[in-house]
Amino acid sequence: MKWGIDLGGTKIEGIIIDSAENNTVIARRRIPTEGDRGYHHVLLQIKKLIAALSKESGLLPQKIGIGTPGSIFPPTGHLKNCNSQHLNDKPLLVDLQNLLQVPVAMANDANCFALAETQMGIVPDILPDAKVVFGVIMGTGVGGGLVVNGQIINGANGIGGEWGHNFLDDSGGSCYCGKMGCVETVISGPALEKYYLQISGHLKLLKDIVKDVKADPYAKETVARLIHYFGLGVSTIINTIDPDIIVLGGGVGNIDLLYTKGIEEAKKFVFNPECATKIVKPKLGDSAGVFGAAFLN
């Protein structure tokens, strides 16, 4: 049995899956995070969720995987770069192991997404022999995860796969991470909506910008910006780690043009006349985080 917890900003989801039985879901629950009540309260919410899963299934965890926002700083095991501020600089891994009295494995949500799609999502469906998988969540922010031979690559700094904070273009402006022009400041959903507002003087949601691409010249320009910088950004992934497959999650990842014009744009910058890397939509939807957490075990 694999136990996974997906710790999000507004909800915490827990799952037990039977990996020996085709990843059948044994139990699954979600409760509110209530992060505004502080770090200690969030720990107790996780404990409460695990107790509920235990009661429902009649099982006790031997080990638990947990997906978190932000990343884990290896020397201290503390979380950093979380958009849920109550978690930053907290030793979540150690505190959870003490509270739950079981071993805990932890990874950020984008790594869990990449792992879940690799183990039981789109990757085994269309490229079962893939060795190198890059998963990206392009939504409110831009996160990434690198999986090689079925294992997450965390790296020396705990930032393996953090493509969202590669430098892309100065026009993105300052990023919450303290740097300038990160991928996230150019092609996240809010970044694209901000760009549209700057050039048009009007607010428009990204889904409407994409819908109006033919009729609205500002929408056309915003989508052209997305395609160009997506292609440029993705080419740096391909030139550096040359993955077999890139899986694009999140709201921005839903935009169909990325899989046609976006790929064509990336090819302009790839250090090869051809590009064999597949760029595809995910299969697991919102469930990827919690399944990926379970596969940390």
What does the binding site for Zn ion look like in residue numbers (CB under 5 A)?
165, 175, 177, 179, 182
140, amino acid identity: T
| Shorter beta-carbon distance to Zn ion: residue 31 or 177 | 177
| Shorter beta-carbon distance to Zn ion: residue 182 or 213 | 182
Measure the CA–CA gap between 96 and 125, rounded to whole angstroms: 35
Minimum Å gap between C-beta 74 and Zn ion is 20
Minimum Å gap between C-beta 288 and Zn ion is 23
| Shorter beta-carbon distance to Zn ion: residue 185 or 297 | 185
Q: Could you tell me if 178 and 227 are in contact, meaning their C-beta atoms sit under 8 angstroms apart?
A: no
Minimum Å gap between C-beta 186 and Zn ion is 10
Closest CA to 99 of 47, 146, 22: 47
Q: Could you tell me if 237 and 266 are in contact, meaning their C-beta atoms sit under 8 angstroms apart?
A: no
CA 7 to chain CA centroid, nearest Å: 12
Measure the CA–CA gap between 208 and 190, rounded to whole angstroms: 13
Minimum Å gap between C-beta 128 and Zn ion is 34
| Shorter beta-carbon distance to Zn ion: residue 167 or 259 | 167
> Strand ranges (DSSP E) for the chain?
2-7, 11-18, 24-32, 64-68, 71-73, 78-80, 104-108, 132-138, 142-148, 151-152, 245-249, 278-280
| Shorter beta-carbon distance to Zn ion: residue 38 or 173 | 173
Place of tokens 């869990």: 112
Minimum Å gap between C-beta 93 and Zn ion is 24
Q: Is 36 exposed, middle or buried (0-12, 13-18, 19+ CB in 10 A)?
A: exposed
Find the largest Cα–Cα distance for the chain: 59
Minimum Å gap between C-beta 53 and Zn ion is 35
Measure the CA–CA gap between 219 and 79, rounded to whole angstroms: 38
| Shorter beta-carbon distance to Zn ion: residue 30 or 179 | 179
